[in-house]
């Protein structure tokens, strides 16, 4: 199933941005009766219900006034900044700045429900630009009912940034280069991770302990109150589901209508986070390969087995003799795996067929077009990915080189094509100066209204089993299944998914138990 046009645009931008970084630097880290929510009026002035039960030390943050102005480059949106405490446990320790954007609801009076906060995932990537790209994907009915709001997570984008020194940061994607023997250089990965950790400690040591998901969830509550909402209405994708579930655990009485799409299982550990992702990408690749085999223009062969061999051969050839699609750009076999992984998440299958065909003939035309379209990439995305992951035990493993090497056979067993690639992520937090502030545990969030969890059966990045697990854990969780390909369901061309999500956001009605969309 192909993505809708909005999804294609968003994912292609992600693909171009990832290519610009990884090729310049070597690798991208990268019931049958419907239940109704019964909520009290959702949109109330800040300082009343919206700030109920706020600790005295935080009142000055919850009572600040926001100055919304048209965004310089996006006049259809408004932008503002707000102050948040560096450390919520010690509000007098200083402030940080958070950047936010909103698109005002088009409806009036009884049509309006409040604000819908949006997080596109990551971690480590801006939510503001994510909303700018995604706003038109929301239905006219949702856009009439809600102000669409996004806040760049602390340390990211327009919010107070993590600074790890640009020169050092640019070296980060080299961490997964595979040696000609086909084995990851775990020692090299470890040395580079140590270098990055030292640089981050030097430049942002004070901020690093406070950029985790716990703090980001508290920032969401601050934004909720300043927007004048008694309850948080939220759409989170991918990592955004972990953020939303964390919020529900911290503030169950303040949860409104919450959609968690492409769910992360908060009870997994960091090892299984990447092992499951390796397997998920293998399943997605073989789904692509089976579809490709039935097409006359398939560049990887007429069977899944042939496609696996072809991809392996391309990776080996490019590692030994990389492509040079532009000045100071090197495209290795590991770069190819990163591009394939991103394309499988879209799923941008047509684009992937074209790119694989070109690469097979050592043609750089498509690569050059991608770079011409977006040369910026997202260096901080890689650093933010690490900075947030390492504060969450479900996201950030701390493996030594020997431990990562010992895990390699299991990774290759679950994913012949992507296992070695994903095994290098196990070392990401080994030298990080801050330990995890969130443990791996089930999130039940008793006392919340019903929460809608959405899972896609062949999602490569957040496997369907994770969505099933989160829906079971949440005391009020309800699972909506999309039978299909690609990462998350919201941006895919499923009328069933969009109708179900819209009905929930607009009326609070959940789908019947066992609902499956295509």
Q: Pick from 82, 77, 81: which is nearest to 134 by CA?
A: 77
Q: How many helices (H) and strands (E) does the chain have?
A: 18, 12
Which pLDDT score, from 0 to 100, does residue 30 have? 38
Which pLDDT score, from 0 to 100, does residue 183 have? 82
Give the pair of three-digit tokens for residue 76.
């259809």
Pairing verdict, β 69-70 and 78-85: antiparallel
Which pLDDT score, from 0 to 100, does residue 51 have? 63
Give dist(CA 103, CA 143) in Å, integer: 8
| pTM beyond 0.85, yes or no | yes
Listed by start position, the domains of the chain span 20-162+208-268+440-517
N- to C-terminal Cα distance for the chain? 9
Please return the burial class of 406, using the count of CB atoms within 10 Å of its CB with bins 0-12, 13-18 and 19+: middle
Give dist(CA 470, CA 145) in Å, integer: 28
Neighbours of 304 (CB within 10 A): 17
Whether omega for the bond prior to residue 347 falls within 30 degrees of 0, making it cis, is: yes
Are 516 and 483 in contact by the 8 Å Cβ rule? The answer is yes
Summarised one tens digit per residue, pLDDT across range 52-93 is: 689 999 999 999 999 999 999 999 999 999 999 999 999 999
Give dist(CA 440, CA 294) in Å, integer: 42
Which stretches within 234-303 are classed as H helix?
A: 239-250, 270-293
Give dist(CA 224, CA 162) in Å, integer: 24
Please return the burial class of 385, using the count of CB atoms within 10 Å of its CB with bins 0-12, 13-18 and 19+: buried
262: left (phi over 0), alpha (psi -120 to 50) or beta: left
Angle at 486 between CA 333 and CA 469, to 5 degrees: 110
Pairing verdict, β 114-119 and 451-458: unpaired
Q: Pick from 169, 166, 188, 168: which is nearest to 177 by CA?
A: 188
Are 490 and 497 in contact by the 8 Å Cβ rule? The answer is yes
150 has which bridge partners? 101
Write phi, then psi, for 449 (nearest 5 degrees). Answer: -65, 175
- Enter the DSSP assignment of 426: G
CATH class belonging to 20-162+208-268+440-517? alpha beta
Please return the burial class of 510, using the count of CB atoms within 10 Å of its CB with bins 0-12, 13-18 and 19+: buried
Are 170 and 132 in contact by the 8 Å Cβ rule? The answer is no
Please return the burial class of 409, using the count of CB atoms within 10 Å of its CB with bins 0-12, 13-18 and 19+: exposed
What's the chain's length in residues?
Answer: 518
Give dist(CA 362, CA 228) in Å, integer: 56
Which pLDDT score, from 0 to 100, does residue 375 have? 42
pLDDT < 50: residue spans in the chain: 1-48, 168-176, 180, 374-380
Which pLDDT score, from 0 to 100, does residue 125 have? 87
Which pLDDT score, from 0 to 100, does residue 493 have? 86
Are 193 and 175 in contact by the 8 Å Cβ rule? The answer is yes
């Amino acid at each position: 199933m192909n993505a809708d046009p909005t999804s294609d645009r968003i994912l292609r931008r992600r693909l171009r941005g990832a290519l610009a970084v990884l090729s310049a630097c070597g690798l991208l880290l990268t019931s049958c009766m419907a239940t109704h929510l019964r909520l009290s009026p959702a949109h109330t002035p800040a300082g009343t219900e919206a700030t109920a039960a706020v600790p005295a030390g935080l009142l000055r943050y919850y009572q600040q006034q926001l100055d919304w102005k048209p965004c310089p480059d996006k006049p259809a949106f408004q932008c503002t900044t707000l102050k948040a405490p560096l450390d919520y446990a010690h509000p007098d320790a200083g402030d940080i700045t958070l950047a936010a954007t909103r698109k005002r609801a088009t409806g009036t009076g009884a049509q309006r429900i409040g604000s819908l906060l949006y997080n596109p995932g990551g971690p480590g990537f801006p939510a503001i630009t994510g909303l700018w790209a995604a706003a038109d994907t929301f239905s006219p009915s949702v856009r009439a009912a809600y102000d669409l709001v996004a806040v760049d997570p602390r340390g990211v984008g327009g919010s107070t940034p993590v600074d790890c020194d640009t020169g050092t940061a640019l070296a980060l994607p080299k961490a997964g280069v595979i040696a000609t023997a086909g084995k990851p250089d775990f020692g090299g990965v470890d040395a580079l991770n140590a270098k990055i950790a030292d640089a981050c400690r030097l430049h942002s040591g004070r901020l690093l302990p406070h950029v985790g998901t716990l703090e980001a969830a508290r920032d969401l509550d601050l934004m909720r109150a300043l927007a004048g909402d008694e309850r948080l209405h939220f759409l989170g994708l991918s990592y955004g589901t972990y953020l939303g579930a964390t919020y529900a655990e911290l503030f169950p009485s303040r949860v409104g209508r919450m959609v968690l799409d492409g769910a992360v299982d908060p009870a997994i550990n960091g090892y299984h986070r990447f092992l499951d992702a390796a397997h998920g990408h293998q399943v997605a690749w073989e789904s692509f390969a089976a579809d490709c085999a039935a097409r006359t223009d398939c560049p990887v062969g007429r069977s899944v087995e042939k496609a696996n061999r072809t991809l392996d051969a391309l990776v080996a050839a490019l590692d030994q003799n990389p492509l040079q699609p532009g000045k100071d750009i090197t495209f290795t076999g590991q770069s190819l795996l990163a591009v394939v992984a991103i394309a499988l998440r879209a799923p941008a299958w047509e684009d992937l067929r074209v790119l694989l065909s070109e690469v097979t003939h050592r043609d750089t035309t498509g690569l050059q077009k991608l770079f011409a379209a977006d040369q910026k990439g997202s260096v901080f995305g890689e650093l933010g990915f690490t900075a947030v992951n390492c504060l969450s035990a479900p996201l950030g493993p701390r493996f030594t080189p020997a431990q990562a090497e010992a895990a390699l056979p299991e990774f290759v067993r679950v994913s012949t094509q992507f296992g070695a690639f994903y095994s290098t992520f196990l070392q990401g937090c080994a030298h990080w100066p801050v330990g995890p502030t969130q443990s791996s545990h089930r999130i039940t969030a008793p006392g919340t209204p019903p929460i809608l969890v959405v899972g896609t059966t062949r999602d490569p990045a957040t496997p369907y089993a994770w969505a099933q697990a989160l829906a079971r854990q949440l005391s009020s969780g309800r699972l909506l299944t999309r039978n299909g390909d690609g990462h998350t369901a919201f941006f895919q061309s499923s009328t069933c998914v969009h109708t179900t999500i819209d009905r929930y956001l607009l009326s609070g009605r959940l789908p019947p138990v066992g609902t499956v969309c295509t």
